[in-house]
Amino acid sequence: MQLKGVSAVVTGGASGLGAATARELIAAGAKVALLDLNMAVAEKTAAEIGAIAVKCDVTSATGAVEALAEAAAKQGVARILVNCAGVGTPAKAVGKKGPMDLDAYVKVVQINLIGTFNMIRLAAHAMQQLEPLADGERGVIVNTASVAAFDGQIGQPAYASSKAGVVGLTLPLAREFAETGIRVCTIAPGLFLTPMLEGLPETAKEALVAATLHPKRLGKPSEFGLLARHIIENPMLNGETIRLDGSLRMSPR
């Protein structure tokens, strides 16, 4: 899909991987709406990169409908959805204080998995009403999983299972949406320099980098944005989960 003049929605677009992806799409000529709960940061980012900011709770059925409607009213129905909204609060299933709080587990799954599906079902329905472009294409959906979906560490049962769920959505949705010309792919990033990792001590960062084969560093959010853009622009990428991790395989701890 050619990005020039096309409307796109990026959830979690205020910062991190979402903001970097939005920046890349705008550089290619797309019109981008940053959907986020943190409107102060979203509006600041939007002003910097030439996007619009829309408040959205991805876990809310009505809230997501309203956010997509607002974005569509301002820049047209989105042909592109990039799901970057997510959380990664660590906790063992059974810790020093006993069993993990069930509500904490539910919250991670609610945002990472159910929130992703919520946005997909609504955005895909709107895409299906649009006229097809070249090759019968109507839209592209790019989701964010994690290498934790495959090599989840101790303390990541909620995060890893929620991201594994996103991986599990990818092929069934690509198959379902094929008849209406909508592609679905997922990126499974490794260790990227995002707000989620920036708070770690330097020693912890160094240990994580040591497990990465090449390059020996944390990933740059811009590199995630480059892959998201390539997925959108390459019509043969569909139904795939792509690891973006410098060949990292995480250890149990």
As annotated, the active-site residues are 159
In a 3-state reduction of DSSP, which class is residue 98?
strand
Distance between CA atoms of residues 35 and 83, nearest Å: 10
Position 69: which residue type? A
Residue bearing tokens 């569509």: 72
What is the DSSP pairing of strand 80-83 with strand 94-95? Answer: unpaired
Under 8 Å between Cβ of 134 and 180? no
Rounded to a whole number of angstroms, the distance between the first and last alpha carbons of the chain is 41
Q: For residue 112, which of 41, 39, 62, 167 has the smallest C-alpha distance?
A: 167
Helix, strand, coil % over all residues of the chain, rounded to 5: 50, 15, 35
Phi and psi for 34 in degrees, rounded to 5? Answer: -90, 110
Distance between CA atoms of residues 248 and 253, nearest Å: 14
Q: For residue 70, which of 39, 35, 44, 37 has the smallest C-alpha distance?
A: 35
Token pair for residue 5?
Answer: 């003049």
Cross-strand partners of 83: 11, 143
Under 8 Å between Cβ of 142 and 116? no
